[in-house]
């Protein structure tokens, strides 16, 4: 199981789609070889000019690159941060949680739509980032101000950034690899975590087991253990996201799917940030 954003798109999900590439490459190579027989040879000046020319850009190749994904991910995260700041500092205090709930609902709908679209829509992905920013701005304010935990948001942001960097370094170094066993473990763990979270929400709704701010199953020592487990799941999901992006770049997928890759990373990072926010709040005694 991988991020649904990548898992629902065959371009990132199925590496066997490129099996026909070598055959096409041989056919194209034969055509080029035949053409080379009749073409005039390049002189030394032309060859030198070709060698010194800059590398082809994405616009010239039409293929997704790591730079594409980085730039688009950075742009989406910028929108999230800006909208979160506007929600925190501009929206009246009494309206922030209401606006945050609306942002969460809109973000959920747009997230589902973008996850199942076969071709990415930059406008919808940008709208998702804006909606998530509104939600995160409101919920972050609630955690830090309502629970009287100054610096909580900064701690959660730094923890998310550090975990992202650590996962990227481990993936690039090859010390952590995506294997069938790894994927099966994540699938079972994700299903178990979702069931656990659903049970916790139901207990909160029916006021069973206590009145903890995060539910009876997310309080105290158990809450810390579950929080650490959830952060670990989010980190594992990041590893799968990196693997999906790497596969997409190596297979030469169209450049437009850099939007899909960036969207998938933002989805995982938002989840990780929320888990860190809750975990650190529990550790600091808000519950």
Q: Which of 173, 194, 162 is nearest to 242 (CA)?
A: 173
- With a cut of 60, say whether residue 63 has pLDDT above it: yes
In the numeric block, the tokens 């800006």 are attached to: 82
Category of 176 on φ-ψ map: left (φ > 0), alpha (ψ -120 to 50) or beta = beta
163 or 56, which is more confident: 163
pLDDT at 12: 66
The per-residue DSSP string of 73-138 comes to HHHHHHHHHHHHHHHHHTS-GGGHHHHHHHHHHHHHHHHHHHHH-SS--HHHHHHHHHHHHHHHHH
The pLDDT-based confidence of 228 (bands split at 50, 70, 90) is very high
Q: What's residue 215's pLDDT? A: 81
Task: State yes or no: pLDDT of 286 exceeds 60.
Answer: no
- 0.95 surpassed by pTM: no
Could you read off the pLDDT of 116-151 as tens digits, one per residue?
Answer: 998 999 999 999 999 999 999 999 999 998 888 899
Tally Cβ neighbours within 10 Å of residue 262: 26
Highest mean pLDDT among 33-47, 73-87, 191-205: 73-87
Contact 231, 272 (CB under 8 A): yes
pLDDT at res. 25: 45
Mean pLDDT of the chain: 83
Integer Cα distance of 146 and 156 in angstroms: 16
Q: How many residues does the chain have?
A: 287
């Amino acid at each position: 199981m991988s991020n649904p954003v990548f898992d629902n798109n065959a371009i990132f999900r199925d590496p066997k789609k490129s099996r026909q590439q070598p055959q096409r490459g041989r056919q194209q190579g034969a055509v080029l070889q035949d053409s080379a027989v009749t073409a005039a040879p390049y002189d030394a000046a032309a060859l030198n000019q070709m060698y010194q020319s800059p590398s082809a850009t994405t616009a010239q190749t039409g293929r997704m690159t790591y730079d594409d994904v980085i730039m688009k991910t950075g742009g989406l995260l910028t929108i999230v941060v800006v909208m979160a700041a506007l929600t925190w500092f501009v929206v009246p205090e009494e309206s922030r949680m209401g606006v945050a709930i609306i942002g969460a609902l809109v973000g959920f709908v747009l997230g589902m739509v973008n996850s199942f679209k076969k071709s990415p829509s930059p406008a919808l992905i940008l709208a998702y980032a804006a909606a998530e920013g509104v939600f995160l701005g409101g919920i972050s304010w609630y955690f830090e101000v309502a629970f009287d935990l100054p610096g909580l948001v900064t701690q959660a942001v730094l923890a998310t950034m550090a975990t992202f960097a650590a996962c990227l370094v481990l993936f690039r170094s090859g010390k952590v690899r995506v294997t069938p066993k790894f994927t099966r473990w994540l699938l079972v763990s994700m299903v178990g975590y979702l069931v656990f979270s659903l049970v916790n929400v139901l207990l909160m709704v029916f006021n069973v087991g206590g009145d903890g701010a995060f539910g009876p199953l997310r309080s105290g020592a158990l809450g810390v253990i579950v929080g650490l487990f959830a952060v670990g799941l989010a980190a594992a999901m990041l590893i799968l996201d990196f693997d999906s992006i790497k596969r997409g770049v190596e297979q030469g997928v169209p450049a437009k799917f850099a939007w899909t890759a960036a969207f998938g990373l933002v989805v995982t990072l938002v989840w990780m940030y929320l888990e860190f926010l809750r975990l650190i709040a529990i550790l600091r005694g808000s519950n």
